Structure 1
Amino acid sequence: MSQQTLPPGAQQEAKNRRPLLVVALLAVVVLAGLGVYLLTSSGGGEEDLGPVPAPRTTVSAKPSATAAPTPTATLQQVTNKNPFGPLPGASRATTAAPTSGTTAGATTAPTAGTTTSGAAAPTASAATATTLQLVSANQAEQTAVAKVNGKRYDVKAGQTFAKSFQMYAVFPGGCAGFLYGDQNIALCTGSSTVVG
């Protein structure tokens, strides 16, 4: 058998690597042992903290003879509300038409006035205010009787009446849906709203 011989520079290099490999292997073994030690020793040994003091409670010398008044719960009457109507107490700013000396888009703030109890009606000028009232509704036939400014109309779903109103459906419970321009109005029998 023949033995393989290395050039003299390669033999020296191999001899220099051995101690480095041994040191690296020894460092890996030491680090692994240190890791195992740290992971297995939780350091959560129980320490004797001594006696734990009991909580102290104090009692007043004389208990009060009169009991504090207990609050009573009050229930507020909830009524049906028109989700498409204006909020109670809400006011609308109106846009004034531009005249000579004014700029376009000028607004006038609502003036203070007297208020009445009950639901607030939308503020609309007398010339443009229109009242829509649902008198009766028949869901099976999709028909309804509506009044616009007091004038009675017998309408079917999809029919346009009073020039600018359209009833689009009758819902359960005697309610109907109307369109007025781009406004969607839902009314139940006996209710009315002002649009404009």
Structure 2
Amino acid sequence: MPHGTITTDDLLGWLRALADAVHEQAGHLTELDAAIGDADHGSNLDRGFKAAVAAVGEMTDTPPGKVLGKVGMTLVGSIGGASGPLYGTFFLRCGTSLGETPEVDAAGWGAALRAGVEGVLARGKAERGDKTMYDAWAPALEAYDADLAGGGDLSSALAAAAAAAAQGRDATVELVARKGRASYLGERSAGHADPGATSTALLLQCAADTLG
């Protein structure tokens, strides 16, 4: 593969790594969700990404965009709660952005991520500071774009995005939730990291580790 591009095989490797990481962290994600949500974020994502990996396992000759579209549809169909529609929409929009291209360069991947997050925002109506996954996504997209603009490549941009997402995740600890189930707790929602921001940071760290 040319330096700095993502192929279908790369994407499948990322998805397998992500499913493994979500499985390992499922208990932690559910624990976070138990504090401020429905106590099902980890178990839901674990089930969803296992199903997604199984669904795309044979799609080795399929363009990356089609693979991500299949992931999105599988997540929507296999995850309950809020996370299924949000992550499903993210992957569907990413896939649509990539279209039929057989290999994705750094700029194309950044555009796909942004399209995915715009889909999440359209569905969830969240803003920065609401204590949602967008608090990890927003700084991650900014860091990715800034790294590329500064002469970075795919690997460095992915690493920058993952680091920024982790910082965004950590920053949600002190926030009072303004969206979702956690918002019902008011001030009591502070003191806990947002589960969606935590799983977003995990997704981006896996991307940095495998796609970079």
Shorter-chain-normalised TM-score: which range?
under 0.3
If asked which structure has higher relative contact order (CA below 8 Å, sep 6+), I would say 2
Task: Give the structure with the larger strand fraction.
Answer: 1
Q: TM-score normalized by structure 1? A: 0.26
Between Structure 1 and Structure 2, which shows a larger proportion of helix residues? 2
Greater Rg, structure 1 or structure 2? 1
TM-score (norm 2): 0.24
